[in-house]
C-alpha cells in the first residue's frame, strides 16, 4: 500500500507495458496475461489499429457536452442496435460499467413506476451506491440502498426450481420493476446457469409484466463466445448494459441499451454524463467493436476457450480441485480448500497473470484473440502451479 493513493490492497507487481497477450514489469519480466483487466482485454495490448484510431481522434482536438446532437454518437448507437439481441432500440451513454448499471436501475424504475429490483445473491454489478446495492458491492462498512431483493444463486437443478419459485413469489407481490443479473455469474466464480434458467426467468418476467435486465458489462462483445452473453440462453432483455470488453481496455466508456418502450417510459431521468462517449473514447470503442466483428473474435473466444477448458479439465482428477468450468474466454477453477491465492501467487512467479474471485476460486479471462499456442502455454503454467 502506498503513502498517498487511497487503496486498501493491491498486487505488488508494477507493470510497465503490454504487447498482445503479454505484460512486462519494470524489470523486464514477461507475463502471459490471463486476466486482461478482468474481462476487459479483447484485441491485445499495444494494438496498432487501436493506437492509430485514438491518436487520429486526439489530433482533432474536440470535446463537446452531451446535449449537442452528435451524428457520430447516433451512428455508433445504430451500429450497436444492429448487433444487439432482441429489440434494444435506444442507447444511453455512460462512462463505466457501474454507471451503466445505474442507468439500468433508473430506467427500470422510471419506466415501470415501481421500486423493487430482484437479483441473484453473490453477483457483483459495480461499485457505485446503486450498483453496489443491487449486487454484492459492499463490505461490512456500508449498508446497501433500499429496494433490492436477492434470491439464492441456483447451483443445481433442484435448487433452480426453488429459486424460480422464490422469484415468482416475489413477482406476484406487484411492486417489482425488474429482474437484473448477469448471463454468466462472473465475479461469483464463473458460475454458469443451466440452459433452462434464464428462459424460465424471461417467461416469468413476461407473465408479470416485469423488465428483464441483463448486466453484460463483463460478458459482452464476444467474451462468452457470442457477441452478447444473453445469446447463450436465447433471451431478449428489455435493458442491457455494456462495459469492460466493450472498450478492450483502451477507453473509459460504457452503454445502457433499452427498448423503445423503456426509453419512452423513462423520459426525464438524468442522461447526460459529462464524459459520456467523449470522442477519443468513442474512437477506441468504435475500432475495438470493428475488429471484434471483422475478425470474428467471438468465434475465436468460443473455439480457443473450449480448447483451453479441455486442457484444464484434467485438473479435476486431483483431490484439491473441485471443478473446472467456463464458457468462451471466461473460466474458473474451484478448489476444495482455500488455496486460490496461493495458486495465483505461484502463477505470477511462473509468468502468468491470473486472479481469484474468492479464496477457493481461480478466475481466468484472457484476450479474445488468444491463440491455441498461448492457451496451451498458460494451461501448462496453471497445471504446474496446481502441483501436477
Model confidence pLDDT, tens digit, residues 167-184: 999 999 999 999 999 999
% of residues, the chain, pLDDT over 90: 85
Residue 8 has pLDDT above 80, yes or no: no
What is the rounded CA–CA span in Å between residue 132 and residue 251?
22
Considering only CA atoms, which of 254, 281, 264 is closest in space to residue 103?
254
When the pLDDT of each residue in the chain is averaged and rounded to a whole number, the result is: 95
Residue 31 bridge partners (DSSP): 23
Task: Tell me the per-residue pLDDT of 304-326, one tens digit each, with 9 for 90 and over.
Answer: 999 999 999 999 999 999 999 99
Matching fold, domains 15-33+296-385 and 53-294: no
Residue 1 has pLDDT above 70, yes or no: no
What is the rounded CA–CA span in Å between residue 219 and residue 233?
13
Residue 144 has pLDDT above 90, yes or no: no
Q: Buried b / exposed e across 83-105, counting CB within 10 Å, b at 16+? A: ebbbebbbbbbbbbbbbbbbbbb
What is the rounded CA–CA span in Å between residue 235 and residue 238?
10
Which CATH number does the domain 53-294 belong to among 3.90.226.10, 3.40.640.10, 3.30.310.50, 3.40.1390.30? 3.40.640.10
Strands 211-216 and 239-242: parallel
* Dihedral of the alpha carbons of 272, 278, 281, 286, in degrees to the nearest 10: 80
Angle at 186 between CA 180 and CA 192, to 5 degrees: 85
**pLDDT of the residue at 139:** 66
Counted residue by residue, the chain has a size of: 388
Residue 18 bridge partners (DSSP): 23
Task: Tell me the per-residue pLDDT of 341-376, one tens digit each, with 9 for 90 and over.
Answer: 999 999 999 999 999 999 999 999 999 999 999 999
* Dihedral of the alpha carbons of 1, 345, 225, 218, in degrees to the nearest 10: -20
Residue 44 has pLDDT above 90, yes or no: yes
Q: How far apart are the first and last CA of the chain?
A: 34
pLDDT band at 140 (very low <50, low <70, confident <90, very high): low
What is the rounded CA–CA span in Å between residue 52 and residue 89?
30
Q: Average pLDDT in the 5-10 region?
A: 74
Biggest alpha carbon distance in the chain? 60
Residue 70 has pLDDT above 90, yes or no: no
Angle at 171 between CA 255 and CA 204, to 5 degrees: 75
Residue 76 has pLDDT above 80, yes or no: yes
**pLDDT of the residue at 262:** 98
* Domain spans in the chain, listed from the N-terminal domain onward: 15-33+296-385, 53-294
pLDDT band at 145 (very low <50, low <70, confident <90, very high): confident
For the purposes of burial, counting CB atoms within 10 Å of the CB of 195, is it exposed (0-12), middle (13-18) or buried (19 or more)?
exposed
In CATH, the number for domain 15-33+296-385 is 3.90.1150.10
**pLDDT of the residue at 64:** 87
In contact, 355 and 35? CB cutoff 8 Å: yes
Q: Three-state SS across the chain? A: CCCCCCCCCCCCCCEEEEEECEEEECCCCEEEECCHHHHCCCCCECCHHHHHHHHHHHHHCCCCCCCCCCHHHHHHHHHHHHHCCCCCCEEEEECCHHHHHHHHHHHHHHHHCCCEEEEECCCCCCCCHHHHHHCCCCCCCCCCCCCEEEECCCCCHHHHHHHHHHHHHHHCCCCEEEEEECCCECCCCCECCCCCHHHHHHHHHHHCCCEEEEEECCCCCCCCCCCCHHHHCCCCCCEEEECHHHCCCCCCCEEEEECHHHHHHCCCCCCCCCCCCCHHHHHHHHHHHHHHHHCCHHHHHHHHHHHHHHHHHHHHHCCCEEEEEEECCEEEEEECCCCHHHHHHHHHHHCEECEEEECCEEEECCCCCCCHHHHHHHHHHHHHHCCC
In contact, 315 and 333? CB cutoff 8 Å: yes
pLDDT band at 3 (very low <50, low <70, confident <90, very high): confident
- Sign, Cα dihedral of 207, 211, 215, 219: positive
Task: Tell me the per-residue pLDDT of 114-138, one tens digit each, with 9 for 90 and over.
Answer: 999 999 999 999 999 889 898 876 7
What is the rounded CA–CA span in Å between residue 287 and residue 282?
8
Amino acid at each position: 500500500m502506498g503513502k498517498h493513493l487511497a487503496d486498501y490492497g493491491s498486487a505488488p507487481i508494477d507493470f510497465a507495458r503490454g504487447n498482445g497477450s503479454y505484460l512486462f514489469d519494470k524489470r523486464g519480466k514477461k507475463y502471459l496475461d490471463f486476466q486482461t483487466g478482468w474481462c476487459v482485454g479483447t484485441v491485445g495490448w499495444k494494438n496498432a489499429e487501436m493506437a492509430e484510431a485514438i491518436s487520429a481522434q486526439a489530433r482533432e482536438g474536440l470535446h463537446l457536452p452531451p446535449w449537442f446532437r452528435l451524428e457520430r454518437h447516433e451512428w455508433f448507437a445504430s451500429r450497436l442496435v444492429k448487433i444487439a439481441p432482441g429489440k434494444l432500440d435506444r442507447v444511453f451513454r455512460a462512462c463505466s460499467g457501474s454507471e451503466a448499471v445505474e442507468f439500468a436501475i433508473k430506467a427500470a424504475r422510471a419506466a415501470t413506476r415501481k421500486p423493487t429490483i430482484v437479483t441473484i445473491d453473490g453477483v457483483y454489478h459495480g461499485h457505485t451506491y446503486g450498483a453496489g446495492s443491487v449486487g454484492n458491492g459492499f463490505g461490512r462498512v456500508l449498508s446497501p440502498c433500499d429496494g433490492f431483493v436477492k434470491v439464492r444463486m441456483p447451483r443445481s437443478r433442484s435448487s433452480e426450481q426453488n429459486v424460480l419459485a422464490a422469484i415468482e413469489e416475489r413477482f406476484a407481490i406487484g411492486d417489482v420493476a425488474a429482474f437484473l443479473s448477469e448471463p454468466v455469474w462472473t465475479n461469483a466464480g464463473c458460475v454458469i446457469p443451466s440452459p433452462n434458467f434464464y428462459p424460465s426467468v424471461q417467461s416469468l418476467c413476461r407473465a408479470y409484466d416485469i423488465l428483464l435486465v441483463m448486466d453484460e458489462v463483463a460478458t459482452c462483445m464476444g467474451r462468452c463466445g457470442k457477441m452478447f452473453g444473453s445469446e447463450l440462453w436465447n433471451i431478449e432483455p428489455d435493458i442491457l448494459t455494456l462495459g469492460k470488453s466493450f472498450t478492450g481496455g483502451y477507453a473509459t466508456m460504457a452503454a445502457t441499451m433499452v427498448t423503445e418502450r423503456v426509453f419512452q417510459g423513462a423520459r426525464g431521468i438524468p442522461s447526460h454524463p459529462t464524459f459520456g462517449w467523449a470522442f477519443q473514447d468513442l474512437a477506441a470503442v468504435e475500432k475495438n467493436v470493428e475488429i471484434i466483428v471483422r475478425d470474428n473474435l467471438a468465434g475465436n473466444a468460443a473455439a480457443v476457450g473450449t480448447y483451453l477448458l479441455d486442457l484444464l479439465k484434467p485438473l479435476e482428477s486431483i483431490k484439491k480441485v473441485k471443478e473446472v468450468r467456463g464458457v468462451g474466454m471466461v473460466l474458473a477453477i474451484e478448489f476444495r480448500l482455500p488455496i486460490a491465492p496461493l495458486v495465483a501467487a505461484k502463477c505470477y512467479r511462473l509468468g502468468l497473470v491470473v486472479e481469484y474471485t474468492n479464496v477457493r476460486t481461480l478466475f481466468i479471462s484472457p484476450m479474445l484473440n488468444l491463440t491455441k499456442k498461448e492457451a496451451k502455454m498458460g494451461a501448462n503454467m496453471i497445471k504446474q502451479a496446481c502441483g501436477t
